[in-house]
Amino acid sequence: MGDKVLVTTKQMSMKNILVKKDGTRRKLAPKYIGPFTIVALAETPDTYRLNIPSALRMHNEFHTSRLKPWFCDPDPTRMSSIPPLIDDDGNEVYLVEAIVGRRVRNRKIEYRVRWLGYNENHDTWEPKHNLRSVTGLIEAFENARKAQ
């Protein structure tokens, strides 16, 4: 649990792997998308549940044959960027790495979000309703906060 993996695009529909809405052909599309975090072992054997953003409208359970381990390249001189995730409306999707803070503004709860692939200088405050796809991270943050 907690490891990051890439998902093969071999049997995915084009709407989930398009880099742009310009009619990109499958031949030119990325072979893998991600990285996604493994959040649980699924009920069927050799299958894992991933933390896939709800904006992608994809099933979140994959067999191990469709997954590939993801390793961050520690060498800053090499760029090993992965193509951005695109939702059905053509908007870029950003993944949440962690919830690192909480505040109340105008009687509404906001969480400080650390985005995957970005450092703390790019953290943003997001209202709770924008974070529906990461309720598990919010629960873990709240539980850790209460334990202090």
Taking the C-alpha atoms of residue 57 and residue 118, their distance in angstroms, rounded to an integer, is 24
Q: Residues 101-124: what's their mean pLDDT?
A: 90
- Range of weakest confidence among 14-23, 28-37, 59-68, 71-80: 14-23
Better pLDDT: 96 or 133: 96
- Residue 113 sits at the vertex; the CA angle it makes with 19 and 56, to the nearest 5 degrees, is 30
Taking the C-alpha atoms of residue 94 and residue 3, their distance in angstroms, rounded to an integer, is 18
Better pLDDT: 18 or 88: 88
Average model confidence (pLDDT) for the chain? Answer: 81
CATH of domain 94-147: 2.40.50.40
Q: Is the pLDDT of residue 15 over 70?
A: no
Outline which parts of the chain fall under CATH 2.40.50.40: 94-147
CB atoms < 10 A from the CB of 137, how many? 20
DSSP code for 45? T
Taking the C-alpha atoms of residue 101 and residue 107, their distance in angstroms, rounded to an integer, is 16
